[in-house]
Structure 1
Amino acid sequence: MSSSYFHGRNGSTDLASPSATSPSTSIGTAPRSSALSSRITSVLSASYADLDIRDALETLDKRGFQNTQESRRNLRLDLQQEVIQCNGEIVRDFGQVAQQLKRIGAVVDSLNKCCDDMRTHISASKREVGPVLEEANSLMQQKSQVESKQHILDAFKKHFVVSDTEIAILTSSSEPVNDDFFRVLVKVKKIHQDSEILLGNENERLGLEILEQSSKQLNSAFQKLYRWIQKEFKTLDLENPQISSSIRRSLRVLAERPALFQSCMDFFAEAREHTLSDCFFAALTGSATDSDAMPHSRPIEFQAHDPLRFVGDMLAWAHSATVSEREALEVLFIGEGDELAKGIQAGLDADIWSKGEGAEEAYDGRKALNELVGRDIAGVARLLRQRTEQVISSHEDATLAYKIANLIGFYKNTFGKLIGSEAAILEILDGLETYAQKQFRANMRDHVASVQAELSIAPADLSAPDFLLDALETLKTLIKSYGTSLAAADEDSDAFDPVFTEALDPFLKACETLEKKMVAPHGDIFAINCLLTTKTALTPFPFAAEKITAMDDSRADHIVKLTTYQYNFFLKSSGLEPLVTTLATLENISTIPSLPLFQENSLIRISQTLDDFLPSAHMDAMDNIKKLQSPQLTRDITEAAAERFCEDFEMVEEKLLEADDLIDGREEDGDGEVMEERIRMRDMFPRTGGEIRVLLT
């Protein structure tokens, strides 16, 4: 399309030329018009969005193309000229490349020749050096084997061989027990343990020799450690309790030999028992049997004049010493965790002779601590028992003996919580408590016997006698002492019942003996007053509830007797007793009018007696029991008796009314005639039950 375009532009077919419209072409006008329209159509139908056309236009724009006739005419030639020039430059460049390739080919041929020569030399050298390399490899393998054996030998010597210096550190008594000793000991124990591995290999003889040698060294080391600990125990001061770390470490290690460890503990317990006994003796008397014992500036024997305080000071000293001893030794048994338990268990597992004796009980550090502390204070406990028994037996005061028993019981519980229930001191304290209680009962019985021998008569006002008041004061003192003991914490405890039996019941029985010698109602009033006084003294104490209940039951019996006495007083004083007695047993009401007691004179006389009695009846009855210490109880008893009297009066009243009604029914004959008029019994006995109740309440 471009060729035809340039051809049309340069030729005679230019649409703008005059010849295109000349008459000479008129004949061909139609074809040319058709060609023109085709050209226009093709131009208009061309897509200028085509990439080739767009690239061509961009190229023209970059070359600065001017749309002139001359430039359009020379455009094809210019382009062809540029293409020819570019092709010429390419040909020249490829010529230079060809020359370089020739040079490279020559160099490559030279290198190939050099490589062939080197390959030839290498093959020759390999044939010559081959035997030497084989020999060198063999020597290297032999060297590696020798080095491996050397390493094994060095490791064996380092692990299984103990030097003479280390043996001296481990077994020589002149060498101290320090970190080096424990380091070597750990090493030897490791050797002893690992030597068992050699027994399973082909080197069984070597394993046996190492095992035997290490066993001897370990035995010597533990013997040295055992002697060193005993030596340290002799100079150990627990009064200022600080056990050195070296002793604690030594004991943990020695625990692997349970026999030696137990022997060491026995030695320590014996030494501490002797030391604490001397200290306790010095605290008591101010002088010590041992010059090393701790001095005491104020002896307990001179300071405590009161026997109870003396016993309390001794117990307090023993408790304080026990606490100090336990705190000092707790660092050893508890502060180090379960190291001792592990060591002892390891020793038991290693001892083949103890395995056949059955399962061993697991080591308990707290239990061992309690046992050791208990053994340390055993001497103090024996001296304490001796002095306390002397105090108890040398005094006849029952209250003192009971206070001492409670004090000992308190410390017994305290020691039990502190060092366990199996300590020897608990058995001694239990024996002292039993002895004090026995002495208390003996002293009380002696006192009761002396009181019973001096019994005379009750006080004139029927109040509690002096010996009962003294006994109640003593009982209060005993109760206060009991309140300080741990047994009082349980309100339902019957621990105080033996005290009631010894310190109260005999005096109540003595009061009962006096009461039986009195006439009514004085005996019952005296008994009630004694019981009320006793109840008032015991009410503040909860553990006396059961005793108070028993006394209430006894008091209720006496109240019933007093009520009956008052009731009988009402009956006799009012003159109503014959009527009540007769009517209570009478079965036929119709016979009442015929009885002598219910005749006019008799009923009028009884009625008059009743009228005379009623105005002051209540006051007179109150006067009978006015010596009762409880006004309320006096009123209650009198009112109860008056109620019974009123009920009896209402019964008499009812019987008389029934008899009158029965007689009235019989007085009319069959003809309706009325018999001679008579006086009714109700008229002769006019008082009513309501009036009686008003007058007696």
Structure 2
Amino acid sequence: MATSYFQERATPASQDGLSPASPQVGGGAVSRGANALSSRITSVLSASYADLEIRDALETLDARGVKNTAETRRQIRLDVQKEVIRCNGEVVKDFGQVAAQLRRIGTAISCLNQYCADMRSHIAAANGETRPVLEEATSLMNQKQQVETRHQILSAFNSHFLVSEEESTVLTSTAEPVNEEFFQVLTRVKKIHHDCQVLLGTEDQRLGLEVLEQSSKQLNAAFQKLYRWIQREFKTLDLENPQINASVRRSLRVLAERPTLFQSCLDFFAEARENILSDSFYAALTGSTSDSTNIATKPIEFQAHDPLRYVGDMLAWAHSATVSEREALEVLFISEGDEIKRSIQAGLESEPWLRDDGNEEVFDGKQALNQLVSRDLMGVARLLRQRTEQVIQSHDDATLAYKIANLIDFYKSTFVKLLGADSEVLDLFNTLEGSAMRQFRANMRDHVASVQSELATAPADLSAPDFLDEALEMLKALAKSYDTSTATVDDRDNAFQPVLAETLDPFLSGCENLCKGMQQPDRDIFAINCLLASKSVLSSYSFTKDRASEIDDTVGEHTTRLVEYQHQYFTHSSGLNTLLEALSDISDTAEGLKTIPTLDVFKPESLISASQQLDEFLPSALIDAAENLKLLRNRKMVQDITEEAAGRFCEDFEFVESKILATDDLLYADDEEDEEKEPEPGLRDLFPRTSGEIRVLLS
């Protein structure tokens, strides 16, 4: 639009003859007009039409629909000014209307102010007339409020701090039952006793002291009533009845606020339960109770003919009774969480003279439960100890005594989990286990003494003697019994060592004594057979691996001596020992090697004889050597020992062969220097066997 606008303006100027090139105008006027037009064109061309204001102006012209004509361009400024003046006139007119409305509002506000002043004057007059009446009414209202407050305080005091005769009877009379009403009244009296502190904080403490004394008497009487009721309930308490347990449990929780009475109840309960459990255990053993009443179940003494089963049945009954007693008492004493503990804590705070400063923990429910169950089982424990010791002392079987000791140890670990490590019942198990182990050691020593008196000679086949086989069978039974026990992993290896010392070591010592009078190789063969028989039993269990390793070391020592024996057999039977003895002092120097042919054993006749003896020995050498160890039970060990001895024999032969070859080489060199001397046959010609042939024949 801007481009077309300037093009239209340029056209009329040229038509009117106002162009700078027109010759009709004078020279000065033409020069000034050209400069003005040039300046105007320059200013127009230098203007930035990207300016926002110019853009907005052009958009406004477009919006008004203004056409680009010469008339429009001449009148545009006047039209814009005229429109501005018209808009200003409209604004002034509108503000005139606003001013008229403001004048009307001011008139209304003035009227309202006049009305308010009149009302204030009327109110002031009314207040002056009613002030005395209001003051009198306020005084009466205050007096009424004070009277009502005193009446409420009196009613609250009577309802809170005073107990009716009916409630006092329910709380203290032994003829009334211990029921929900009793506990409600007891809770109310305890609250009264506690709230007496408020009354004691007033100036007149007489009322507080009277109420405190009365509530204390009522509480003492109530706790005594509750204590006697619990004792009666304990005499006929059925631990399997959950309803009775609920009432007794609540009563115990409340009685715990009096720690002395609570402990007395526990002592009474423990004594009663001890008698009940003792009678039950006696009835389970004999089939009749203390009052000669027979029971329907078959008694343990008639059912368990085996001593081990008899002891096991008694321990199983004790364990079952302990589990049942613990479950019942756990419901009775600690099922309410820490209620008893909090009650005892409150009781010690109210009775500080009962507090033990050395114990930070006032009441531990689990520990108290374990102690109570232990006390309940003391009667059963005494009877169990008596019967078990009778069984232990009346049998001379060492295996039985040890199995009983392991059985007791198994149940001891079970009772530790049930009652804790500090239970008094565990002393019983320690005593019984120690008694069984003493009897086991005594029986074993008697058996060893009887066996030692019968020791004579080893069996002809050099197998393990009968007393060792019997000892190993006993050891196998003991190890199996120990393996089924609950010994801890850390102590399993060490705990079985005393058993090995009693059941194995004396018999191995007896085998060693038999070896002393035997010749080789029977001595080592017999020792290895005994040790391998022992190892076959020990290797079946992980807790005897250390002893099995020691036996392996000892077997290795005997094996070394058998290898040496077989090696000596190879060298002597083959005739190689004479050559080895002769060469033992010969050095590898030329002078030493030259002396070899001068030795007696290396003379042609002797060397030929040694070669013939070697040839006769080699075909059956391995069979003959294995025949020396035929009584060794482990055939693989026989083969390994023989092969190792044969290997050492081959090394000895290689040594002799190297000396012979070195000597022949030296003598052959001397014969070449002395051409006139007739060569003599070499040592190799007289002793033709090679080490390769020896290894093939002995492989």
CA shift, 1:489, in A, is 5.5
Q: Is the 8 A contact 2:245 2:332 kept in 1?
A: no
Query: Which residue number corresponds to residue 369 of structure 1?
Result: 369
CA shift, 1:344, in A, is 1.1
Residue type of the partner of 2:339?
Answer: E
CA shift, 1:449, in A, is 1.2
Q: 2: CA distance between counterparts of 1:334 and 1:179?
A: 21
Q: Is the 8 A contact 2:246 2:332 kept in 1?
A: no
**Alignment pair present for 1:459 and 2:463:** no
**Alignment pair present for 1:416 and 2:411:** no
Matches of residues 462-477 of structure 1 in structure 2 within 5 Å? 462-477=462-477
C-alpha spacing 1:608/1:134, structure 2 compared with 1 (3 Å): closer
1:576-600 residue CA offsets vs partner (Å, 9 max, x unmatched) = 1111122123232222122222111
Q: 2: CA distance between counterparts of 1:288 and 1:659?
A: 104
1:345-396 residue CA offsets vs partner (Å, 9 max, x unmatched) = 1112222224573453142211111111111011100110010000000000
Q: 1: CA distance between counterparts of 2:258 and 2:431?
A: 38
Question: Please, which of 580, 594, 601 is the counterpart of residue 597 of structure 1?
Answer: 601
Q: Is the 8 A contact 2:334 2:340 kept in 1?
A: no
DSSP-derived class of the 1:357 partner? coil
1:448-483 residue CA offsets vs partner (Å, 9 max, x unmatched) = 111111112222211111111111111111111112
Question: Please, which of 649, 673, 676 is the counterpart of residue 674 of structure 1?
Answer: 676
DSSP-derived class of the 1:614 partner? helix
Residue type of the partner of 1:626?
Answer: K
Q: 1: CA distance between counterparts of 2:330 and 2:554?
A: 58
**Alignment pair present for 1:618 and 2:622:** yes
Q: Is the 8 A contact 1:401 1:436 kept in 2?
A: yes
Query: Which residue number corresponds to residue 519 of structure 2?
Result: 519
Q: 1: CA distance between counterparts of 2:584 and 2:621?
A: 23
C-alpha spacing 1:452/1:242, structure 2 compared with 1 (3 Å): farther
C-alpha spacing 1:335/1:497, structure 2 compared with 1 (3 Å): same
CA shift, 1:538, in A, is 2.3
**Alignment pair present for 1:693 and 2:695:** yes
Query: Which residue number corresponds to residue 267 of structure 1?
Result: 268
Residue type of the partner of 2:422?
Answer: E
RMSD: 2.4
Query: Which residue number corresponds to residue 542 of structure 2?
Result: 542
Q: Is the 8 A contact 1:348 1:354 kept in 2?
A: yes
C-alpha spacing 1:575/1:130, structure 2 compared with 1 (3 Å): closer
1:13-39 residue CA offsets vs partner (Å, 9 max, x unmatched) = xxxxxxxxxxxxxxxxxxxxxxxxxxx
DSSP-derived class of the 2:459 partner? coil
Residue type of the partner of 1:436?
Answer: A
CA shift, 1:662, in A, is 2.0
Q: Is the 8 A contact 1:241 1:328 kept in 2?
A: no
Deviates more, 1:215-224 or 1:374-383: 215-224
DSSP-derived class of the 2:595 partner? helix
CA shift, 1:533, in A, is 1.7
DSSP-derived class of the 1:493 partner? helix
1:169-209 residue CA offsets vs partner (Å, 9 max, x unmatched) = 11111111111111111111111111112222223232222
Query: Which residue number corresponds to residue 346 of structure 1?
Result: 346
Query: Which residue number corresponds to residue 398 of structure 1?
Result: 398
C-alpha spacing 1:240/1:607, structure 2 compared with 1 (3 Å): farther
**Alignment pair present for 1:156 and 2:157:** yes
Q: Is the 8 A contact 1:563 1:638 kept in 2?
A: yes
1:262-282 residue CA offsets vs partner (Å, 9 max, x unmatched) = 110010001100111111111
Q: Is the 8 A contact 1:239 1:324 kept in 2?
A: no
Q: 1: CA distance between counterparts of 2:676 and 2:598?
A: 20
Residue type of the partner of 1:298?
Answer: K
C-alpha spacing 1:477/1:273, structure 2 compared with 1 (3 Å): same
Matches of residues 284-683 of structure 1 in structure 2 within 5 Å? 284-290=285-291, 295=295, 297-355=297-355, 357-487=357-487, 493-587=493-587, 588-669=592-673, 673-683=675-685
Matches of residues 18-167 of structure 1 in structure 2 within 5 Å? 137-167=138-168
1:98-139 residue CA offsets vs partner (Å, 9 max, x unmatched) = xxxxxxxxxxxxxxxxxxxxx9xx98xx97x98777655544
C-alpha spacing 1:377/1:242, structure 2 compared with 1 (3 Å): farther
TM-score scaled by length of structure 2: 0.79
Residue type of the partner of 1:353?
Answer: W
CA shift, 1:296, in A, is 5.3
DSSP-derived class of the 1:494 partner? helix
Residue type of the partner of 2:654?
Answer: E
DSSP-derived class of the 2:395 partner? coil
Q: 2: CA distance between counterparts of 1:589 and 1:483?
A: 67
**Alignment pair present for 1:250 and 2:251:** yes
DSSP-derived class of the 1:502 partner? helix
Q: Is the 8 A contact 1:283 1:296 kept in 2?
A: no
DSSP-derived class of the 1:678 partner? coil
CA shift, 1:233, in A, is 0.5
Q: 1: CA distance between counterparts of 2:241 and 2:307?
A: 31
5+ residue gaps, structure 2, are: 1-121
C-alpha spacing 1:134/1:603, structure 2 compared with 1 (3 Å): closer
Sequence identity percentage: 62
1:59-81 residue CA offsets vs partner (Å, 9 max, x unmatched) = xxxxxxxxxxxxxxxxxxxxxxx
Q: 2: CA distance between counterparts of 1:410 and 1:295?
A: 30
C-alpha spacing 1:695/1:438, structure 2 compared with 1 (3 Å): same
C-alpha spacing 1:239/1:183, structure 2 compared with 1 (3 Å): closer
1:210-233 residue CA offsets vs partner (Å, 9 max, x unmatched) = 222222221111111111101110
CA shift, 1:165, in A, is 1.8
Residue type of the partner of 2:568?
Answer: N
Q: Is the 8 A contact 2:398 2:440 kept in 1?
A: yes
TM-score scaled by length of structure 1: 0.79
Residue type of the partner of 2:162?
Answer: V
Q: Is the 8 A contact 1:282 1:296 kept in 2?
A: no
CA shift, 1:163, in A, is 1.6
C-alpha spacing 1:656/1:491, structure 2 compared with 1 (3 Å): farther
Q: 2: CA distance between counterparts of 1:517 and 1:413?
A: 49
Aligned length: 575
Q: 2: CA distance between counterparts of 1:667 and 1:242?
A: 123
Query: Which residue number corresponds to residue 28 of structure 1?
Result: none
CA shift, 1:540, in A, is 2.0
Q: 2: CA distance between counterparts of 1:528 and 1:413?
A: 40
C-alpha spacing 1:641/1:300, structure 2 compared with 1 (3 Å): same
Q: Is the 8 A contact 1:160 1:210 kept in 2?
A: yes
CA shift, 1:634, in A, is 0.6
5+ residue gaps, structure 1, are: 1-118
C-alpha spacing 1:609/1:451, structure 2 compared with 1 (3 Å): same
Q: 2: CA distance between counterparts of 1:359 and 1:528?
A: 64
Q: 1: CA distance between counterparts of 2:322 and 2:288?
A: 21
Q: Is the 8 A contact 1:589 1:659 kept in 2?
A: yes
CA shift, 1:145, in A, is 1.3
Structure 1 or 2, whichever has the larger Rg, is 1
Q: Is the 8 A contact 1:614 1:695 kept in 2?
A: yes
CA shift, 1:248, in A, is 0.8
CA shift, 1:285, in A, is 1.2
Deviates more, 1:211-220 or 1:489-498: 489-498
C-alpha spacing 1:472/1:634, structure 2 compared with 1 (3 Å): same
